Amino acid sequence: MKKIIYAAVCLMTILAGCSKNWDTHYGEEEGTVSPLNLLDYLKSQPQYSDFVAKLEQYDLAEELERDQNLTIWAVSNEKMSALEALGEDTKFVLRYHINSLMYDNTKLKSGLRVMTFNGKYLSIDKEGEAIRVGDATVVKGNQICQNGVVHEIDQLLTPDLSIYEYLASLGNEYSIIRDTILAMNDTIFDLENSIPIGVDPTGNTLYDSVYVITNPIFERVNIRSEFANVTMFLPNNQVLEKCFDNLGTLYDQFGKDFLYTDSLKAYTWIKEAIFYNNVLDDVTEADITSAFGRLWKPSVQKVDADFKRMSNGRIYEVTHLKIPNNVHIDMIKQLFHYWEFVPDDEKDALFKLNNVTNIEPKDEDKVTFPTIGVELQYRVLRVEGDLNDDKPASIEYTPIMLERNEDGSTGYKAVEVPPGEYNLYMGVKHSNHPFVNVYINDAPVAQNLNVEPSNPWHYDRSTNTVPGTKYNGWGGLVGPVMIEGADVTSFKIKVEFAGLGKGNVERLDLYHWALIPTQNNY
């Protein structure tokens, strides 16, 4: 008798537990509960007869009878009429309407991605009671069956493309970025997944060969994988061409040719700045770091906030693109002696002399760099004052660059640079050179600066020179400077006598200046 009572108690406990689990699983959601399997249930509903017929035609119906939990996104006969017009592989589309695992209404949450039978992910979005599945809306959900659930949706689902598939399908208006990315592809033999089918006369194994596409980008952000969940910023040709036109104009403003190597550097930044290893929601406010560690500042770069949904992430259209200054500008540099190419009647507009008794360009040391085939004579701008008048000599200098006039003569124009933070470097003829004060646009950069040591102040023979030489370096670091403004602008450098070192004359021998963008200069 005790055994019977114990068994009854156990049975009641199990039944109570089952009831509790059923209630927990289905909650208070409205819907239909049927003891039938998915296929028999759908057949019992005449409004799904065309949907069932297609499942049977393409040998998918038997999947709905198996001992497995599935989710079916069913469409009514009226909506099935659009199937042929989709222009897609019918079986591929039908498999997109079947998910492994059971997703009743309690499990359908915004941001959920569910893998379908065709290997593509389906995105779920929920607002209040409304549930969107891809581009469709659930109109009759939670039709619970023995081995899964049926949700009726208001239109057929069209499988989303992956970011890679979408990129490869783009038309000529995106040909620059499309071809740039796809040109990095390599097709390699996949030994692990290739099946041996025999041996050739020489004894080598023959395979039913499988080939896979590889791309260096996939190593950081796999835009081809359906298991990824990533973001791409997509620039069209017009955006890219404007970006490069702006670069060319900018280079012309500070006296540098826009070379092939500059183009490669810019394209490298673009390729590495447009891919992200997560799905981005905020693309207009906070700074973002790409999968390659590149900084994207929405205050400078612009995208359309309305994204294109992909099976493995999102694509945002780029509307404005700028290569950051600290990426494409290595050095902005000119020589002080270019002062001599400005006509005398124009000098006062560009240069201001204080307590100067003499100013002239002067040839100094001759040097040869045989490894690079360069021979030159350093030429400085000499600025002299009277040591006995207790008034420091100085020159306020608007940086200029040289250009060739139409008649073949040498002309000049003021250097204009992008606003932002730079490090200012300079070089002088160091021997017995006095201490100096240096200002940019009247703001002090360095006071009582000792420029007498050969390293790094002697001409431009130090700091980041051409490898293996002492040619075309940055010189000595004066200090950080800020060029203010919103657009490219000219600026002024003031160099002032600040006291004697080892020398005994008030004389500045100025060779060059250079601005190097800091990491803060975007």
Q: What is the pLDDT of residues 471-499, one digit of tens each?
A: 999 999 999 999 999 899 999 999 999 99
CA distance 410 to 415: 16
Positive or negative torsion for Cα 206, 210, 211, 212: negative
String of DSSP letters for 333-393: EEEGGGGGGS-HHHHTTTEEEES-SEEEEEEEEEEEETTTTEEEEEEEEEEE--GGGT---
- Residue whose structure tokens are 């040909």: 175
Helices (H) and strands (E) in the chain, counts: 13, 32
What are the residues facing 375 on neighbouring strands?
368
Quick one: which of 165, 211, 421, 180 has its CA closest to 315? 165
DSSP code of residue 194: P
Cβ contacts of 502 within 8 Å, gap of 6 or more: 432, 452
In sequence order, what are the residues at sequence separation of 6 or more whose Cβ sits closer than 8 angstroms to the Cβ of residue 197? 206, 207, 208
**Alpha carbon distance 296, 275 (integer Å):** 10
pLDDT at residue 30, as a whole number: 64
- Residue 359's pLDDT is 98
pLDDT value of residue 365: 96
CATH number given to 25-153: 2.30.180.10
Instruction: Give the length of the chain.
Output: 522
Cα gap 301→237, rounded to integer Å: 16
pLDDT of residue 205: 67
Q: What is the spatial distance between Cα 230 and Cα 315, in angstroms, rounded to a whole number?
A: 9
Say which CATH topology domain 332-517 has.
Jelly Rolls (2.60.120)
Give the count of beta carbons closer than 10 Å to the beta carbon of residue 183.
Answer: 8
**Cα 58 versus chain centre, distance:** 43
User: Using one digit for the tens of pLDDT, what is the confidence trace for 450-462?
Assistant: 999 999 999 999 9
Q: What is the pLDDT of residue 9?
A: 35
Residue 85: its pLDDT value, please? Answer: 87
Return the amino acid letter for 491: F
Whether 324 and 389 have beta carbons less than 8 Å apart is answered as: no
Neighbours of 198 (CB within 10 A): 9
Among the four given CATH numbers 3.40.50, 2.60.120, 3.30.870, 2.30.180, the one describing domain 165-328 = 2.30.180
Of 508, 515, 507, nearest to 479 (Cα)?
Answer: 515
Place of tokens 């190097």: 516
Nearest to 455 by CA among 422, 479, 436, 431: 431
Q: How far apart are the first and last CA of the chain?
A: 85
Q: Which helix (H) or strand (E) holds 53?
A: helix 49-57
Phi, psi of 408 (to 5 degrees): 95, -10
The DSSP letter of residue 458 is B
Q: d(Cα 160, Cα 122) in Å, to the nearest integer?
A: 8
d(CA 448, CA 425): 15
Residues in the chain predicted with pLDDT less than 70, given as ranges, are 1-30, 188-195, 197, 199-200, 203, 205-212
Share in percent of the chain as helix, strand, coil (round to 5): 25, 35, 40
Going 438 to 444 to 448 to 453, the CA torsion angle's sign is negative
Q: What global pTM score does this model have?
A: 0.79
Domain with CATH 2.60.120 in the chain: 332-517
* Residue whose C-alpha is closest to residue 361's, from 387, 399, 343, 335: 335
Provide the sign of the torsion angle of the four alpha carbons 19, 20, 24, 27, taken in this order. Answer: positive
Q: Where in the chain is the domain with CATH 2.30.180.10?
A: 25-153
Two structure tokens written together for 62 = 């038997």
